[in-house]
Amino acid sequence: MATLKIVIQIVFIILCIALTALVLLQEGKSAGLGAISGAAETYWGKNKGRSMEGKMVKVTKYLAIGFMLISIVLNLPFFG
């Protein structure tokens, strides 16, 4: 059981580092002055889910879910 806990902790640390790096790489949600003039409705604005930024958002969501699940597992009373 101790080996399993060590492996899960290592995966948790790697997940934390990846999640932190991914969040720091993403752009802010503010569109700047382009939103005032309507410039946000471009091809890239409409197809954001298919771009690299859209993929980063999806991966961030999955990493955050994994972070929460591993946090819960590591704090279970029978696992400690």
- Residue at 28 is within a domain: no
Q: Does the global pTM surpass 0.85?
A: no
State pLDDT tens for residues 23-73. 999 877 665 555 555 555 555 555 666 788 889 999 999 999 999 999 999
Let me know if residue 4 belongs to a domain: yes
Q: Environment class of residue 56 by beta-carbon count within 10 Å: exposed (0-12), middle (13-18) or buried (19+)?
A: middle
> Which pLDDT score, from 0 to 100, does residue 20 have?
95
The predicted structure's pLDDT at residue 54: 85
pLDDT for the residue 19: 96
11: in domain: yes
Other CB atoms closer than 10 Å to residue 80's CB: what's the count? Answer: 8
In a domain, 14, yes or no: yes
Number of domains, the chain: 1
The amino acid that residue 11 corresponds to is V
- Tell me whether residue 73 is in a domain: yes
Q: Is residue 29 part of a domain?
A: no
Please report whether residue 39 resides in a domain.
Answer: no
